[in-house]
Structure 1
């Protein structure tokens, strides 16, 4: 009739019902299993979150319906002994960080007051800073030497 792969053999196989090639069973089984697993995990997740939300809602309602304690009952005798933080506390004077430095600054203050001269040095300003903190400021003399009623300089005074 003909050799394998010839036109005659191809035509013979086309006559009548064509045999379908069997699909691999493993591929179909694998597809259906993964679909089933996805559905199961999705359903399991939804059930878990539904149960979790029901439990949390139940706990909330249970706590909401519990009787509330009055402030006096909850604290007991401890409420009066505990001092609350005031909204606007009273300012307290701070101690000087170094007492010997305080004495030295007082000496510098007197020295600078004596060094102010109405003609040669009409005004003088000085600041002492320690650890990013202003420990002492001194403003001596007059801002304007031609005006006898001139105010003393301050931290905003600009010198020429």
Structure 2
């Protein structure tokens, strides 16, 4: 299985083939609207705006697995993110990231960087060749990832 063989449904429940991210640096984050880390949306959006033209893509995957902090519908999630944080990076259908119903994207990510996701806003960084090169805990602020992102963008 390769990163580019994966796919997921976006918030509108339309399939997105990860082949469309070939040659990009991809940051994947499990997100939630009612979490202490929710303000990270602002930093994620800033990273996306600042580095999208250089090849960065951020993919947000809402999950209600941690503290039931993402109870909304896809439409509610979309409205919340747009209204409160101006999110323009791609958001996907609500999923599980751990356990028997974990989405295949997260099964793949965790096979490359072992360990369960501990909380909302865990992050995975994928290089331009589709390799999962690093994972970050929820507490890691988006702006602190910039050196790793810039290194991959420059390669």
Q: TM-score normalised by the shorter chain: which range applies?
A: under 0.3
TM-score relative to the length of structure 2: 0.21
Quick check: which has more Rg, 1 or 2?
1
Q: Which has the higher strand share?
A: 2
Higher relative contact order (CA 8 A, sep 6+): 2
